[in-house]
Amino acid sequence: MKRYLLTAALVGLSLNVAVALGAQPGKTLTIAAKPDPVVFGRSVALTGHLTGSGNAGKTVHVQADPFPYGDGYKTVANPMTANNGAWSTSDQPPVNTRYRAREGSTTSAILTELVRIRVSLKLSDRTPAAGHRVRFFGRACPEHDGARVRIQRRTHTGKWHTVRRTSLRDVVGSSCSRYSKRFRVFHDGTYRAFVVSPDGDHANGRSRRRHIDVH
């Protein structure tokens, strides 16, 4: 009887060891984007990692659902995982876009990538005499005719203070909008143009900084 119980115990232990060795941990799939947000017209790098055994050489389906969302996800890239399960690709979203990655039945979390309006800023005179009028002008792409534009000056604390406001206007034959504002400048300063997005298709845009030396 004792010999039977010992044999049964050993068999059970062998089965448990076999099950443990044959078990595979659940897979997970991640997705990340850089930069976030991205400026309109530029590409975003999409990366991620597939965990679990046998995660090398797997095809990952990167899918996108652009604004206004809800029309379903469509595959935009099919990168393959490296030996460590890492994958990477890129995309150029025209509007705010939700991304996800899929491999078999494994799906990543949803990532929302914002797309900034691309804004330029030019000055009619970077070294004006004190009190002279300077024209601040530029474009915003894609077009958002009627959107508000804030001409901002950087304060000594590093914050941006709006000194003038205007609106985007149509550019005939172009997919961009334009703006222009002229006013007197009395002191040196660093400026930028800030466009407030009127819709949910894009994030607010901001131009590069421009410095004015007043003499």
pLDDT given at position 25: 53
For residue 80, the 8-state DSSP code is: B
Q: What is the mean pLDDT of each run of 10 residues along the chain (215 residues)?
A: 39 32 64 98 98 95 98 97 98 98 97 98 97 98 98 97 98 95 97 97 98 96
Q: What does residue 164 show for φ and ψ, rounded to 5 degrees? A: -150, 155
**Cβ neighbours of residue 117 under 8 Å, at least 6 residues apart?**
40, 140, 141, 142, 144, 147, 195, 197, 202, 203, 204, 205
For residue 171, the 8-state DSSP code is: -
Q: Which long-range contacts (CB under 8 A, 24 or more apart) does 135-138 make?
A: 135/180, 135/181, 135/182, 136/164, 136/180, 136/181, 136/182, 136/183, 136/191, 136/193, 137/178, 137/179, 137/180, 137/181, 138/178, 138/179, 138/193, 138/207
- Kindly list the structural domains of the chain, giving each domain's residue range(s) and its CATH number in brackets, ordered by start: 32-115 (2.60.40), 118-212 (2.60.40.10)
Measured over the CA atoms of residue 29, residue 116, residue 126 and residue 152, the dihedral's sign is: negative
pTM, two decimals, is 0.84
pLDDT given at position 26: 78
> What span, in angstroms and rounded, lies between the C-alpha atoms of 138 and 165?
14
Residue 148: exposure state from Cβ atoms within 10 A (0-12, 13-18, ≥19): middle
